[in-house]
Amino acid sequence: MLIPLKGNARQSLYGDVNNDGEVTIADVNVVIDAILSTNSSASADVNNDGEVTIADVNAVIDRILNPEPNPETGTDVPGLYMGITGFNQQLYTKDITLLNRGTKNIFTGFVSSLTTKDATVLYYAVDKSLDALDAAPFPKNLSNVALITFTDGLDQGSLMLTDKGFTSDTQYASALNTRIDSMTVHGCPLQAYSIGLKGCDVTNNEMFMSNLRSLASSENNISLINDMSEIKTSFQEIADNLAKTSYSYSHRLTLTIPGVSNGTRIRFTFDNVNSNTVSLSEKYIEGTFNLSNRSLINVTYHGMTSTSGTIVMPNEVNGVYVTYTFDNLTLNDPSEKINKNGIQEWYWVSNYSKWQKNSEFTPNSIASVDVETIYTSAIVMLVLDCSSSLNSDFEMVQHAAIDFINALSNYENYNPNGHIEWGDLWYLVGSCIGDASWGNDPANVGTALIPMYTEDEDFTILNYVGYFLAGQGFKIIHQPGNWEEQWGMIDGIYVKNDIKSGNIEVPADGYYVITYDMNAETLSVEPYDGLVSVYSKVTMPGSYQDWNVGGNEMSPMSTVVENHDWIAKNVTFSDNTELKFANGTWAVNWGATTFPVGVGTQGGPNIPVEAGTYTIVFNDIMGKYGFIRVE
């Protein structure tokens, strides 16, 4: 009996004694023959201990049971990987590759190209999709593997295509269920979801439900929808679940500090403490400086973990400066990133029994702190019914799948709660922005930093309209407190993350529209020729305050030029509610139907708002708004 490798992966030479390209029981037999023979082949000495014994048999068996992935199929690029299988009388496949903003059009285009035909080779499609997952690329930090199957009917035709010898649909479905329940992909157990809409030609209800159970890894992963309008919700729920189980980070943190006296305790805090609260910090790394070898000893981690251990040796000593690196640093909340600008360094002064801050430690300098954020990875396989029984409903299946792809394409910033996070946005800062202070700290959002706006939750396109002064420069940054990721200008060309770039300037005073296309990575600044009104106030009347149109005023963001941006910080809604934006009277008001972002129009409908605490931003030229959740 041959015991083949998983999927299409092949072994390294270790264990492949007969050099046939795979490690199987045949290699065990070769080693046994070598043990019994007086002319033992050196190739049978699998463990390279100088003799051929039962230990070599055990080494080959271990290699069979624990196959090594083939480097040719692996990847060092983390992220979300996706494959797609469409099925009717045949299969239409999109290989498993990296899905992100830059590649999502390939996936959505594939879904759009699918067409319906007769027959429903459901089992065969799932079977081949499992094969594809088995042979999938294995990105670093793989944390989730998922199979999502949508069907509207019973299997018709799989037994004609498979070569596995099944004689009944029930036998094939049972075998798939066993495989799904036991399957792991590079160490990750498979999460299988099934979505079913019973088609009009389905008469065997019991068999239909049995199919859904067979193709899911648990009862909780089965979605039986009664109407095609529910399919988008089902896909969104799965996307949210994938994000909740996959959305996490690890960090590689590098710190450069001046050396201190032998035995000095050093603490690096990550939670914005001050001299009065540093002893109460809940997120910190602490160690003792060892002058003899410039190491940190007795290192402890609070509110986080790291694989660097209790002794951290310097990776560089340059004069008085020492550089340390902490690998695989993960906060206790794995979905939380480390903000380098929130890191502070403290020394323990034993004479006074208190911590003293190192005021010369400047985390916004790349020379002091470098944080490499490493995202966990996931692999997702979509299996979509393309049978002709769907009729015109197939377009809704395509739209739901495309929405699913768009949601996960922003995997690094995907928010399973469907809310904007501060890290999703880009901000204007400069001499004609806000208060013109160029202050880029997070506390300056709404005074020196003005966010750009989107009308779609996938944040593919951001734009901004406002009044700019000629000769007054500005830049666009991603993370408040961080100058490293930014747009600037060189010789009239907009450039991203170029340390030589200067400020962006407009040629004449006036209104301009700025557009940032994240897929194409292009920035444009063009004159705006629409009508503009200037308002002295903007309010937020709603059911939460009895629709008092003059109440709940927002604050203007710009003070050095004509203002058109408004902000309200830390607004709490205890219950779901509705509101509008207005200029203090009902004569001018903006409304829309979408949340947490959208485009308000004059006299539009009430904006639905979910309960929670938000910072709210609004641009009165575009009518665009955003509710940024405050945790």
DSSP letters spanning 75-87:
-S--SEEEEEEEE
Q: Is 422-527 the same fold as 80-247+377-413?
A: no
Mean pLDDT of all residues in 434-449: 92
The CATH number assigned to the domain with range 80-247+377-413 reads 3.40.50
Query: d(Cα 567, Cα 627) in Å, to the nearest integer?
Result: 10
Could you tell me the pLDDT band of residue 437, with boundaries at 50, 70 and 90? very high
Residue 215 CA to residue 180 CA, distance in Å, equals 7
pLDDT band at 1 (very low <50, low <70, confident <90, very high): very low
377 has a pLDDT exceeding 60: yes
Apex CA 560: angle with CA 554 and CA 564, to 5°? 40
Q: Where are the domains of the chain?
A: 1-72, 80-247+377-413, 249-375, 422-527, 543-629
Lowest mean pLDDT among 334-343, 580-589, 622-631: 334-343
- The confidence score (pLDDT) of residue 6 equals 30
What is the overall mean pLDDT for the chain?
A: 86
pLDDT at res. 478: 87
Q: What is the mean pLDDT of residues 134-162?
A: 87
User: Tens digit of pLDDT for each residue in 516-535?
Assistant: 987 778 999 999 999 999 99
Angle between helices 169-182 and 205-214 (to 10 degrees): 30
CATH number of 1-72: 3.40.250, 1.10.10, 1.10.3470, 1.10.1330? 1.10.1330
Does residue 133 register a pLDDT over 70?
yes
For 543-629, the fitting CATH number among 2.40.30.160, 2.60.40.3620, 3.20.20.140, 3.20.20.80 is 2.60.40.3620
What pLDDT shows up at residue 457? 60
Give the residue-averaged pLDDT of 488-517. 93
pLDDT tens-digit readout, 550-584:
999 999 999 999 999 999 999 999 888 999 999 99
3-class SS string, 467-506: EECCCCCEEEECCCCCCCCEEEEECCEEEECCCCCECECC
Q: How far apart are CA 526 and CA 508, in angstroms?
A: 11
- Would the pLDDT of 8 be above 50? no
Share of the chain above pLDDT 70, in %: 88
Q: Indicate whether 327 pLDDT > 50.
A: yes
The residue ranking higher by pLDDT, 360 or 170, is 170
- Tens of pLDDT, residue by residue over 9-45, are 333 446 777 777 678 888 888 888 888 876 556 678 8
Please identify, in words, the CATH class of the domain defined by 422-527: mainly beta
Q: Residue 247 and residue 409: Cα distance in Å, rounded?
A: 13
Comparing 423 with 383, the larger pLDDT belongs to 383
Residues 442-488: pLDDT tens digits? 889 999 999 999 876 656 789 999 999 999 999 999 888 888 789 99
**What is the predicted pLDDT for the residue at 78?**
77
Q: How confident is the model at residue 361 (pLDDT cuts 50, 70, 90)?
A: confident
